[in-house]
Amino acid sequence: MEVSSALTEDERVLIAWLEAEPAASVADDLTAFRARLGAGGAAALAVLDAASARLLDMAERMRAHLLALQLPVPADQYELAERLCGALLDVAARFDERAGEPGRAGVERAALSLSGLDLLTEVFVLSSLVAAPAPAGSWRVAHRLARSADVLRAAPDEPARCAYLRIVAIATAQPEGLTGRELAWAFQFLDARVLGAAGFDDGAPDGGAAAWWIDPTADQVPQAVARTSAPEALVQARRLWSFNPRPMAQKLGECLEWVTAHMTAAELAGMQCEVEPLAADEAGFPAGLSPLETLALLRRLRGYWMATPVREQPRRQSQYAVQVCIGLGTIWELGYQGRSSPGQVREWVVLNESPGGLAVMSVAGAPGNVEAGAALALRRDPEQAWSVCIVRWVRSELPGQIELGLQLIGTSFQAVKVGFRGRAAQEMAPALALPVMEPVRRHPAMLAPAGTYASRRFVFVRDGKGVYVAQARALGLDMQTPGVELFQYEIDPYPI
C-alpha cells in the first residue's frame, strides 16, 4: 500500500476535497466528483479509497431518495442514477486493475476486490431501484474482482466471497420482481449466515432445478441450467463456475420459523404486528419491512432458490392497445361504482401474451404506485369484462418508459368486502372476488390487501341489486406479495 509520503501534492489536494463535506445535492456532488477525478487512468490507492467513500455516500443518499419515489421515476432522477452507476463502475474497475497487479499478496488482492465489489453492489441496487439494467461491463468487472479475491477457495465467511455471492444470489432471485424496499432489505439481510451455505464451485453445474452456471470471462449474468444449458466449449475447457442457491433456501426455513413465531406471539398478546417494522436488532433482520412483508419476501426467495421458475407456455408477439387500471383499491372502486375517476384508467400497449399472462408497456409513464406484486386490471374493449392480473416484474430501459410482466389470475371480478374471524380489529376489507379459472384454479378466489387472511372462516358482502352475504372457508394462501394476497375459498355449508 502507498504511504502518505508517496502522494503528490495534487493527490493530497484531491484527497482533501474527497474527504470534505459533500454538496447537499447528489447531482452537484457527482458533477464535481467527475470534474475532479477525471475518467480512466491510474490513481493512488489512497485516492481510490477516498473516492470510494465519497461515492458510497452519494449512493446511500440516492438510494434513500429513490426508495421514496414511485416507478417510473422522473427522467432527471433516472439519468442521475445512470450517471452515478457509471461513476461507481469506473472506480470499481480501477480497484480491479490494482488488484490484478503482479506481486500483490493474497490479502491485499482480497481487500482491493472487496472495495470494488462494495461499489458494484451499489451499482446493482441503484439500477434495480429505477428498474433499469446494470451498466454494460458490470458483470465482467464483478467476475474479475471475484477471481482476484480467489473466492472459489476462500472461507465461506470471507467478506469478498460474501460480497460477490450476494450479487449473484440477488440476480438468481428475479430482482425485477422485487419492490425497491424488498430489494434494499435483501441486500442488507444476505450475510455469511445465509451466503456461507451456498453451493459455489469450479466447473459445470449439475442438472438440478436450482443449478446456475457462470462464465467468469464474460459480461453476463448467471444463467439457470433449467433455462439455458452451458455451452459445451466452456464445459470442456472448464471455464465455468457453478452456483446452487438451494442450501440457502433451506437456511431461510429457520428465518421463516422465527418470523412466524414472532407474529404468533404478538397475536396471542393482542398486538397487530403485521404492519409494524421489525426492529433492526431482532434475530439479525434489517429494519424496513414488517413481519408480514418479511415473511412474504422470505417465502418468495426460498421458492426462487429451491427451483428456478421456468416459463411453461409460449409467448406470442402482439401490438394492440388496452385500458389499464392499477392498484387494488382503484380496481375495487371501479367494480363497486361501475365507473372510474378521471385519470385512473390509462391506455397501454400489449407487447406479447400467453395463456397465463402478458407484457404491457406505457411509454408515457404510469400513474399511481407501479411496483412488483401490485394488482392490475385491463381490458381490450370497453364492452369486455376487466381481467385481473398481478405485476410479476417491472422494467424501465429508458426514462419515462415502463414495461410490466403480468400474471393473469382472473378473467372477471366482483367488488366485495371480506372480514375474518379472530381479528382484533373487526373491519371489513375491500377485495376482488375472482371466478374459477381451470386448470390453474379449481375454486373461486379472493384478492385482498396483504394481511387480510387470518383464519379459515370469513364472511363476505357483495352489493348489487340486493345485498349478498355469505360465510366461506379459505382453502389456503395461494400468493402473497407486499400489497396483496390471493386465496381460494368455498362457501361454508355449515355457517356458524
pLDDT of residue 205: 84
Closest CA to 62 of 40, 33, 41: 33
- What is the rounded CA–CA span in Å between residue 284 and residue 279? 9
Tell whether the model's pLDDT for residue 262 goes beyond 80: no
Q: Is the pLDDT of residue 424 over 70?
A: no
Mean pLDDT for all residues in the chain: 88
CA distance 404 to 394: 5
- pLDDT of the residue at 185: 94
For residue 200, which amino acid is it?
F
Mean pLDDT of the region 189-203: 92
* Best-predicted range by mean pLDDT (111-120, 238-247, 354-363, 459-468): 111-120
For residue 275, name the pLDDT band (cuts at 50, 70, 90). Answer: very low
Listed residue (449, 446, 445) closest to 329, CA to CA: 449
Nearest to 296 by CA among 263, 330, 331: 263
As a whole number, mean pLDDT of residues 274-300 equals: 71
Q: Is 105 exposed, middle or buried (0-12, 13-18, 19+ CB in 10 A)?
A: exposed
Check pLDDT > 70 for residue 29: yes
pLDDT band at 303; cut points 50, 70, 90: very high
The cell numbers describing 152, all together, are 472459489
**Residue 166 in 3-state DSSP?**
helix
Mean pLDDT in residue range 285-290: 84
Output 284 or 95, whichever has higher pLDDT: 95
Q: Give the pLDDT band (50/70/90) at residue 3.
A: very low
**pLDDT attached to residue 340:** 65
- CA dist 85 and 127 (Å) reads 7
pLDDT at 338 over 90: no
Coil, helix or strand at residue 356: coil
- Residue 459 phi/psi, 5-degree rounding, is -120, 150
- If you search the block for the grid coordinates 463535506, which residue do you land on? 21
- C-alpha 120: how far from chain center: 16
Global pTM?
Answer: 0.89
Q: What would you measure as the largest C-alpha separation in the chain, in angstroms?
A: 86
How far apart (Å, rounded) are the C-alpha atoms in residues 90 and 274? 42
Q: Are strands 375-379 and 387-395 parallel, antiparallel or unpaired?
A: antiparallel
C-alpha cell read off for 197: 451455505
Beta strand ranges found along 306-386 (DSSP E): 316-326, 345-354, 357-362, 375-379
The number of residues making up the chain comes to 496
Digit-coded pLDDT (tens) for 50-109 = 999 999 999 999 999 999 998 888 999 999 999 999 999 999 999 999 998 888 888 999
Q: Which of 240, 203, 201, 208 has the alpha carbon at shortest distance from 224?
A: 208
Q: How does 309-348 read in b/e, with b if 16+ C-beta sit within 10 Å?
A: eeeeeeeeeeeeebbbbbbbebbbbbbeeeeeeeebbbeb
Greater pLDDT, 253 or 19 = 19
pLDDT of residue 84: 98
pLDDT band at 368 (very low <50, low <70, confident <90, very high): low
Per DSSP, the three-state class of 296 is helix
Angstrom distance (rounded) from CA 240 to CA 254? 31
DSSP state of 441: B
Which range among 24-38, 83-97, 296-310, 419-433 has the greatest average pLDDT?
Answer: 83-97
